[in-house]
A and B are shown apart, each in its own frame.
Chain A
Amino acid sequence: MTTLYTADHEWLRIEGDVATIGVTDYAQSQLGDVVFVELPKVGRALKKAEAAAVVESVKAASDVYAPISGEVTEVNEALASEPALVNSDAAGKAWFFKVKIADKSELGGLMDEAAYQKHIA
């Protein structure tokens, strides 16, 4: 299992050909109190860089972009009833959605943990 990061503050946990995607702890700290999360529909074919989900704080709405292409296989329904999970456990329980990776070569452009830590430092 590998965890990769985007410059836009999403994380991807890669297990076989499935990537679980969420936003980083740094992202949640910048967003502030999350009050609503909108997730993609299961079965939707996401293209890399398109808006896939929305996370809303009291103040503003922010898009979460698909970090890679692939079909959505599962979404985290718990976020609908408990959006504050994004603040309390961004890297764990508050995963957003899973995709079946369409093109593994797209992972090449992502950061590892060390590179991401440098990115936000």
Chain B
Amino acid sequence: MTEYNFNGQNCRGDKIKAKNLNFYYGSFQALRDINLDIPGCAITAIIGPSGCGKSSFLRLLNRMNDLIYGSRIEGTIELDGKNIFDRDVDVVELRKNVGMVFQKPNPFPISIFDNIAFGPKQHGKKSKIELEEIVESSLKKAALWDEVKDKLGQSALALSGGQQQRLCIARVLSVEPEVILMDEPCSALDPMATLKIEDLMRTLAKNYTIIIVTHNMQQAARVSDTTAFFMMEPDRAGSLVEYGSTSEIFTNPKDKRTEDYITGRFG
């Protein structure tokens, strides 16, 4: 199996392209004909009512849906021009390169330091000095360093919800991804913690491609550069209704369904 090297050109052009993507759980079609180009070094928001397949789509981007028995896709998803579902793609490397932050913060039941050092260790980094550097820089990038630098040996579970989520972001950063997927990262957090994470996202977007699924439209409007609106069709398959720059979508939507959703007529 040849190793696929991601080209490290994070900020040029479109980082991820979904082409004629259809996704099935067994015989149930969850996504229909998705065509979507996601720009590099920007924040793309995916919005839409519950059940429209936003999270399913997100999880295809790092092939977490491979874990679900009976799932299959048609079409392609290209990362830097290479289809991530090709046979010669190393899924483990893909997931290092496309990181994910989950809805509910899920730090491991170990110390803060060990949480961040975990990823690099599995990828072969062993020297104590290297790991300490990585932990410090990741925590700094995640705007958490000052709050925890004196208690790196403490259990990560002792942190507040917002801190735990920033820890999870630091953990993702420690393996040096190019893309960060965020699945409703603030839905379990209070407003103050949410704002901190939104600030963090904007800082990170200078160097990383960020894709965020959110059911909070105001958040999408605040934070993202481009927005994709998904909706569930009558047969319960999700499809892409409209996609464009965030300002366009929110001030001048072209599709009536988009307009209805944004103005709160349903969802």
A and B are interacting partners: no
